[in-house]
Structure 1
Amino acid sequence: MSEREEFLTWVNGEFVAAERALLDGDDRPRRSTWSRVEPVSALGAWRNAVGRAGLVEAFEVLASSFSDCTEYVFDLISYEVSGSMAYTVGYEHFTARIDGSPRTMTLRATQVYRRDGDGWHVVHRHADAM
């Protein structure tokens, strides 16, 4: 399997599953897809965070707002892998409850990844609502 195929398999598997879990109210899988090695940061559609502790706090708050995800699709527009770094650009389409109200949304998301000791991890995310 090529480096690009390996990365894409991870994105479409573990990463997508973690994002869907967050939209179901469980932030633990998302924590595992993010790097524990600084620097890490997120400029999110709902919250911003810098540093691992800030990310964990933001993920907990987000997870408490989301529930009952019935759909999550990561529509990948482009990606590249270069050694131990990679990026993705795409749209995240989802249907879930946000603070109890059913919502269907699309976010534009750009993410940067780093291959740490045990595999690929997110190191930066920028997302906003369309």
Structure 2
Amino acid sequence: MSDEIFSAYLGRRKTASDAFVAGDITPLHEVSTGCDPATILGPGGDVVEGARAVNATNAAGAARFTGAERNDLETVHSGEEGGLAWWVGVQRSVVSMVGRDEPVPMALRVTELYRREDGAWKLFHRHADTLRES
């Protein structure tokens, strides 16, 4: 049963990712933790610590996007055990951004960690960096 619950959460996470690249932070905030510890290791090389700072960083990031032609999440592997879960994969997007005339292609290697909080899965860590195409 718990695998089904986590699979349903990953569906909500994909919806949140789609909304994020359209400039809407609300669905991501709904699936993200509000409790510490929380971290982002962003594609720009930054390290953000603490739920409040992570959520503020995510809001600022979403504000830079105005839509996406494509936002695909390719799973390498995912799973859950006890109160922790993970998703590892590649995010391939073609996005529109504030101040940019042309769509911007992005390919990121992503690792996300989730924990159970009050019976629900919550995102508490994301590491994303540029995928090196071979």
Asked whether the two chains share a fold, i.e. TM above 0.5, the reply is yes
Q: Does 1:40 align with 2:41?
A: no
Give the TM-score normalised by the residue count of structure 1.
0.90
The question of whether the paired residues in 1 share the 8 Å contact of 2:87 and 2:111 is answered with: yes
Tell me what 1:22 maps to. Answer: 20
- Runs of 4+ in structure 1 off by over 4 angstroms are none
Q: CA deviation at 1:72?
A: 1.2
Q: Structure 2: where are the runs of 5+ without partners?
A: none
When the two chains are superposed, the root-mean-square deviation of aligned CA atoms in Å is 1.4
The question of whether the paired residues in 1 share the 8 Å contact of 2:107 and 2:130 is answered with: yes
Tell me what 1:98 maps to. Answer: 97
Q: Distance in 1 between matches of 2:14 and 2:43?
A: 18
Tell me what 1:89 maps to. Answer: 88
Q: Structure 1: where are the runs of 5+ without partners?
A: none
Q: CA deviation at 1:48?
A: 3.5
Please show how residues 1-130 of structure 1 align to structure 2 within 5 Å.
Answer: 2-11=1-10, 13-46=11-44, 47-101=46-100, 102-130=103-131
Deviations 1:63-87 (A, max 9, x none): 1211121211110101121111011
The question of whether the paired residues in 1 share the 8 Å contact of 2:108 and 2:128 is answered with: yes
* Aligned residues with identical type, % of pairs: 26
Give the number of aligned pairs.
128
Q: Distance in 1 between matches of 2:119 and 2:98?
A: 35
